[in-house]
Amino acid sequence: MKFKAITSALAAGLVLAASATAQTKLTVKGSDTLGAKMVPQLAEAYKAAGNNVSFEIAAEGSSTCFTNLLAGTADFGMSSRSVKASEKNKFASAGKELVEHVAGVDMIAVIVNEANGVKKLTKDQVAGIFTGTITDWSEVGGKAGEIKVYTRNTSSGTYKTFQKLAMDKKDYGKNSQKMAGNEQIAAEVAKDVNGIGYVGLAYLSRDGIAPAAVDGVLPTADKADEYALSRNLYYYTVGQPAGEVKKFIDWATGAEEAGKIIEKVGFIAAPKK
């Protein structure tokens, strides 16, 4: 009887070990906008639904989505901008097909300190502030004071998308201060009465900041089609996804539960396919 008990215990242990070994690990790299909040919360919900998957998420900027996919060091990537032609050409040269999946919709909110009297700006004024041709709040109807501009760093997809949507691809002003992520920009603007920056829609809830209307439209989910600085968020894969990557992306872009998480975080669920 003792022998049978030992055998049963060993068998149970082997089953547990096999189960642990069978767990799939997905490595996801790229955008801070997606990777700081949205994808981690989706990943937790996906695991809680009974999927035997672990996630390694590195949110270091959209450019790293493409470098890691090309190097084969990510199972799929996150980007807050569409792939550049130059990046796509590198995949083609390597004989790899890059496939785009819409992860959700975002609005790049222009933010000011909540104590700042300027809460409305035209798109031209936004461009002037971020390119450095407008340098004092009195030039846009506020109290006199040097405008302090906070932006994302150059590896960020938001940095490049904002440059395209708001600045007609012009260069940022030389005095703009570059931050690692949305939360860092929000933190700086919250403590600087003369500060201005931009963040993804999911980062507007921080105390001390307020969104500025652009051309009379505030960045709210119901105004996504009207707001001048709206954009898609993306997942990218090398080739059509398969296995657990396909299963997760299909769930994250199509399941009702995933859509609710995306909207709870503060973004807008992708349109139904």
Describe the crossing of helices 243-254 and 256-265 by its angle, rounded to 10 degrees.
70
Residues 97 and 158 in one domain: no
Q: Position 48: which residue type?
A: A
Residue 129 sits in the same domain as residue 235: no
pLDDT tens-digit readout, 219-233 = 998 999 999 999 999
Is there a domain that residue 143 lies in?
yes
> In this structure, is residue 17 part of a structural domain?
no
**CATH number for 29:** 3.40.190.10
Q: Is residue 5 situated within a structural domain?
A: no
**pLDDT score, position 272:** 72
pLDDT of the residue at 20: 46
Asked if 86 and 131 sit in the same domain, the reply is no
Residue 7 lies in a domain: no
d(CA 250, CA 39) in angstroms, rounded, equals 14
Average pLDDT value for residue range 230-256: 97
Considering the domain architecture, whether residues 156 and 218 belong to the same structural domain is answered as: yes
- Residue 210 shares a structural domain with residue 116: yes
Query: How do residues 56-86 score in pLDDT, each as one tens digit?
Result: 999 999 999 999 999 999 999 999 999 999 9
Q: Structurally, how many domains does the chain consist of?
A: 2
User: Looking at the structure, do residues 170 and 71 belong to the same domain, yes or no?
Assistant: no
Report the predicted TM-score, pTM, of the whole model to 2 decimal places: 0.82
Mean pLDDT to the nearest integer, 229-249: 97
Does 236 fall in a domain? yes
Looking at the structure, do residues 121 and 207 belong to the same domain, yes or no?
yes
Indicate whether 157 and 204 sit together in one domain.
yes
* Contact between residue 189 and residue 110 where contact means Cβ atoms under 8 Å apart: no
Q: Are residues 117 and 85 in the same domain?
A: no
How far is it, in rounded angstroms, from Cα 53 to Cα 122? 46
- DSSP state, residue 22: T
Its domain, for residue 159, covers: 109-223
**Closest-CA residue to 251 (of 29, 58, 12, 46):** 46
82-98 pLDDT, tens digit per residue, is 999 999 999 999 999 99
Whether residues 99 and 128 share a domain: the answer is no
In a domain, 16, yes or no: no
Which tokens is 241 given? 């996804």
Let me know if residue 8 belongs to a domain. Answer: no
Q: What is the pLDDT of residue 273?
A: 63
Is the pLDDT at 1 greater than 90, yes or no? no
CA angle in degrees (0–180, nearest 5) for 120-82-176: 45
Q: Are residues 177 and 216 in the same domain?
A: yes
Regarding whether 171 and 86 lie in a shared domain, the answer is: no
